[in-house]
Amino acid sequence: MRDINERLNYLIQSVPAKVKQYSEQEFSVRIEDRWSKKEILGHLCDSATNNHHRFIKIQFEKQPFVIVPYDQNNWVLIQDYQNMPLDEIITLWTVLNRHILRIISKIPEEKLGYVCDIGDNKSMTFFELVQDYLRHLEHHLKQIFGTSEL
């Protein structure tokens, strides 16, 4: 968990500065008729919101904890990240991830093995879910900033 905490903390410190290197217009351009960089960043806020709840509930609800998916496209559309000021989106992203870092840094070791039902007769441990959150975050940050080192 220490590596995950350190990596998430690094991203929380570095991503806002990288975002400030771009204009609002650059972040608003749609990528291959899909989401814009603003919308990808908004999606990462939605991911943080959903995982924040999961990371708390897993620790005290019945095992295996059932992961309920959410309609990512509609979440992005309804919240209108495309027309939201970029500085508000990055502030939201930063605050949400600081809070997630606080939560995951307090997870008792014995709870990391708790089982999560991810659907389709598949499961993962709580630890693997936290790892997957970071992997998902980094995947989308690479979409936003390219393959340069984050």
Q: How many CB atoms lie within 10 A of CB 113?
A: 11
- Domain 2-21+40-144, what fold? Four Helix Bundle (Hemerythrin (Met), subunit A) (1.20.120)
Residues 6+ apart with CB under 8 A from 140: 40, 41, 43, 44
* Residue at token pair 């350190």: 6
Contact 115, 65 (CB under 8 A): yes
| pTM reported for the whole predicted model | 0.95
Residues 6+ apart with CB under 8 A from 137: 8, 11, 44, 47, 97
In the chain, where the domains are located: 2-21+40-144
Identify whether 64 is preceded by a cis peptide bond (ω within 30 of 0): yes
Mean pLDDT for the chain overall: 96
Note the pLDDT of residue 147.
76
What digits encode the pLDDT tens for the residues 6-33? 999 999 999 999 999 999 999 999 987 7
